[in-house]
Amino acid sequence: MARDRDHADDQAARLPAVVGSAAARLRDASLALRRLAVTTSTLLEPVAELNTTDTWSSPWQRRSTARVDAWQQALTAGAGVLVIRSGWYSRVADVLDAATRAVTAGSTGGRVGGPGVVGDPNSAEGSVVAPTVVVPAMPRGWDDPDLALVRALGAGLSDRADPADPPGGDVGGDGPVWFDAGQLGALAGSLRAAGTAAARLAGAVDATEDQALRAAALALTELVASTGDGLGGAVGAAAAVRPPETFRVAGLAATTDVLRLGAHVIAVDGPRLAASLDRRMAHFAAAEDAVRAGGVLIDQRAWFDDAPPPSLGQIRSVAAGLVALIGTEPKALSAGEVREVGRRLAALSPAAREAVISRLRGAPLAVFAAAVTRLRKRLVARTRAELTALTAVPDLLLASAPAAMLDELVRLLPDLEPAAPGAGGQRGGAPGRDGADADRTDAVVRDGISSSDVGQGGVDDCYLAAALVGLARQRPALLADGIRENANGTFTVTLYRDGRAFPVTVTRDLPGLASADGSGDAGGRPARTGMAAYDVNGRPELWAAVYEKAYARAHGGYDSINGGDPGVATSDLTGRPHRTLRPGEVSTGELAARLAAGDVVIVSTGGEAPRVDSGLVRRHAYTVLAVDVTGGRVLLRNPWEHVGGELTAWYRWDDLRPGLVAVSLTPPR
């Protein structure tokens, strides 16, 4: 008994020193975590100073900047949690100091409490007070990660091929490429330095956290050993002192937590991004050498693409083989040989393909174009598949040729540029509008795809405009994904024939006014313009006009798409079959159900003039945007161009049906 009492006295004697030392270490850790929080939040400042459009600009630069922004988001979140953790350790240190004072006072006959400590008021003088330690609670969810951010960061780490930096990433972009080589080299150096600093930062956070947790565990162990009745409270306190929950991120070798997520990702991804920059600059230099030595044209966006640099030897070899295959006599070139030209070009990287095409300028390209024109006329009555395969080769040339060759290509292959709209009547078409062509450098999509972006122009293709309105409302992603901007400024649009996708490439030239003074065509008639290249607020936006041009090219010109079936047009844009129903067979309930399921729903008026008070136009197509089943009403959108707002109105379905001839329904998938 005396020995136990002596042991307890020894523990009581050293408890203040042990717990006080632990509290001091917790305070040191708290200060260190605050300093590390500052380091964490400012880690990427040198990168941010260099990662500007003054240093570089390209489609990949925008993707890379989004990647760096995600790193900063993770760092900011980690810095915030470090501050929370720092404050918490400081409060735990206060609790331990109070416990030390309580034990000391109890052993000397005093009665001292403190924050987080409850003494035993019935203890005899000279005995050890048994404090119950109450550790302050951490904020709920303090160590829960942002799952969307974790997925975004993991997407950039999980594939060694670097999904944010794919081959062809700049070639398919939507802007020019330029950079300051010195500044970009400095940016690569800053990214490497950030990666090294991030690794050190993660280690410092880990060591500081470990120091704090060990100190807290030691203090609580001593309190457990020294407090009889306070054992339960001390054990509860020990359970409250825990490290943050760890989790896995795809691409990281070890687990991480909210404190170190940003640092761990940058330590891995920063050097990778720097290496990508170095490769691109090396490829750019190699492309410059090829241009100087080989007399080839390579678009600057292709120069900066993260694909193997073009080999001048390969370019010369492939080009020579194609020149020999094409020969000098258009009538001697077979359809199979034309397709072989396309196969060889398609097998090349974008930069090499562009360079090879540039070496076909002059006589070889003229012979090839004449052969394609002859074969297309001869094959017109043969299988559609054979004709489509033959047409795909000029399409590949238009999508891949250097920008400086586009005029030559269109001159030799006029079918690449659909015939402009004529000056006939406007049956069902929108009134003519004044104004000049849109700037060809304008945005293809501005602030996302919206039904308000669509405005039928002077072409009688209300059925196509109505289909675009419906898809913009129901499946905007399909329309956005269906346009690819090529390195030479052309657009490749995905259309469908018999459910099968096929590419149609068009230039940026969009039809505008027929006369230079904006008064109309040479005969004084209203100007025949294509679909509006502006959004509802009058801001330039090209996507709807680009779709119309691709549709016109696929059908032989703008005048060839005057009049059509909205269901067929929607199928041509989606690859999905459509249904055409009589208006009397469809109820508002069914219309509402089909809209809710994602269908594009379009109604068409007939040749008879609708009721005067209906406001509808004869032989016109309208997109159904909404249905009021209870009121028996439908909301129709007239696809005509109208700056300032969409032409929409509610109609009673029973009043509409007599003036309609068809209802087309096209499912989303």
Whether the pLDDT of residue 539 is over 60: the answer is yes
Cα dist. 587→186, 503, 592, 593, 655 in Å? 66, 38, 9, 10, 13
Mean pLDDT on 5-26:
71
**Residues β-bridged to residue 179:** 56
Q: Is-catalytic flag, 486?
A: no
Q: What is the pLDDT of residues 425-452, one digit of tens each?
A: 333 344 333 334 444 567 788 888 988 8
d(CA 78, CA 257): 9
**Average pLDDT over the chain, rounded to whole?**
80
Catalytic residue among 462, 486, 488, 562: 462
Q: How many CB atoms lie within 10 A of CB 126?
A: 9
The residues, ordered by sequence, that sit 6+ positions from 605 with a Cβ below 8 Å of its Cβ are: 616, 617, 618, 619, 620, 621, 622, 659, 660, 661
Q: 326 and 269: one domain?
A: no
Interval 466-475 mean pLDDT: 95
The domain boundary residue, chosen from 356, 389, 416: 416
Among candidate residues 264, 578, 620, 642, the one labeled active-site is 620
Name which of 390, 389, 308 is nearest 353 in CA terms.
Answer: 308
Query: Are 318 and 365 part of one and the same domain?
Result: yes
Question: Per DSSP, what are the bridge partners of residue 633?
Answer: 628, 652
Same structural domain, 440 and 411: no
Backbone angles phi, psi at 57, to 5 degrees: -150, 130
In a domain, 296, yes or no: no
Return the ∠ at Cα 251 (arms to 150 and 273), rounded to 5°. 90
For the chain, the domain total comes to 3
CATH of the domain at 611: 3.90.70.10
Specify the pLDDT at position 304.
Answer: 65
Tell me the mean pLDDT in the region 43-71.
89
The reply to whether 76 and 203 lie within a common domain is yes
Decide if 421 is inside a domain.
no
Where is average pLDDT lowest: 98-107, 180-189, 249-258, 540-549?
Answer: 98-107
pLDDT tens, position by position, 543-601 = 999 999 999 999 989 999 999 999 999 999 999 999 999 999 999 999 999 999 999 99
* Spatial CA neighbour of 418 closest among 486, 507, 318, 527: 507
- pLDDT tens figures, 124-139: 443 444 456 677 878 8
Query: Helix, strand or coil for residue 176?
Result: coil
CA-derived radius of gyration, the chain? 36
**High-pLDDT (> 90) share of the chain, %:** 42
pLDDT over threshold 80, residue 49: yes
Residue 5 confidence (pLDDT): 52
Q: What is the pLDDT of residues 261-289, one digit of tens each?
A: 999 999 999 999 999 888 888 777 776 66
User: Which residues 6+ apart lie within 8 Å of 436 measured at CB?
Assistant: 512, 513, 518
* One domain, residues 167 and 28: yes
pLDDT of residue 468: 96
Rounded distance between C-alpha atoms, residue 98 and residue 665, angstroms: 75
Quick check: 520 pLDDT over 60?
Answer: no
Name residue 500's beta-bridge partners.
Answer: 497
Asked if 449 and 522 sit in the same domain, the reply is yes
CA distance to 17, 145, 224, 228, per residue, from 232 (Å): 23, 31, 8, 9
Q: Terminus-to-terminus CA distance in the chain, angstroms?
A: 84
| Cross-strand partners of 110 | none
What is the span of the domain harbouring residue 346?
310-416
Least confident window among 157-171, 381-395, 596-610: 157-171
Predicted confidence (pLDDT) per residue in 295-349, tens digit: 666 665 566 666 666 677 888 899 999 999 999 999 999 988 998 999 899 888 8
**Residue 525 falls inside a structural domain:** yes
Q: Which of 24-28, 136-140, 143-147, 662-666 has the lowest mean pLDDT?
A: 136-140
156 and 101 both lie in a single domain: yes
Domain boundary among 366, 389, 416: 416
Domain-embedded: residue 606: yes
Please identify, among 355, 386, 416, the residue that sits at the C-terminal boundary of a domain.
416
pLDDT for the residue numbered 439? 47
> In terms of domains, do 645 and 553 share one?
yes
Out of 234-243, 250-259, 459-468, 644-653, pick the least confident.
Answer: 234-243
Query: Are 358 and 450 within one domain?
Result: no
Q: Classify residue 68: in a domain, yes or no.
A: yes
pLDDT at residue 337 in the model: 92
Strands (DSSP E) found in 228-349: none
Question: Which residues are paired to 133 by β-bridges?
Answer: 117
- The rounded distance, in Å, linking the Cα atoms of 104 and 87 is 26
CA distance 416 to 427: 27
Sequence letter at residue 66: A
* Averaged pLDDT, 228-234: 50
Q: How confident is the model at residue 614, as a pLDDT?
A: 64
Tell me how far apart the alpha carbons of residues 519 and 537 are, in angstroms, rounded to a whole number: 23
Do 108 and 44 belong to one domain? yes
Q: Is 283 a catalytic residue?
A: no
488, 578, 638, 642: the catalytic one is 638
Phi, psi of 590 (to 5 degrees): -70, -40
pLDDT given at position 502: 86
pLDDT at 167 over 60: no
Fill in the DSSP letter of residue 561: G
Comparing CA positions, the residue from 302, 653, 294, 276 lying closest to residue 486 is 302
Per 3-state DSSP, what percentage of the chain is helix, strand, and coil (rounded to 5)? Answer: 55, 10, 35
Please compute, for residue 399, the number of CA atoms within 13 A of its CA located in the half-sphere on the CB side.
Answer: 25
464 and 534 fall within a common domain:
yes
Q: What value does the mean pLDDT take over residues 203-218? A: 90
Asked whether residue 328 falls in the same domain as residue 461, the answer is no
Tell me how many degrees the CA angle 560-535-463 measures, rounded to the nearest 5: 30
244 closest CA partner among 33, 38, 39, 70? 33
DSSP state of 436: P
Asked if the structure places residue 597 within a domain, the reply is: yes
Residue 87: the pLDDT is: 93
State the DSSP string of 339-393: HHHHHHHHTS-HHHHHHHHHTTTTHHHHHHHHHHHHHHHHTTTS-HHHHHHHHHH
Q: Is the pLDDT of residue 459 over 70?
A: yes
In a domain, 255, yes or no: yes
Q: Is 7 a catalytic residue?
A: no
Quote the CA–CA distance of 462 and 554 in Å, as a whole number. 17
Q: Is the dihedral of CA 161, 166, 168, 171 positive or negative?
A: negative
Look at residue 664 and tell me if it is in a domain.
yes
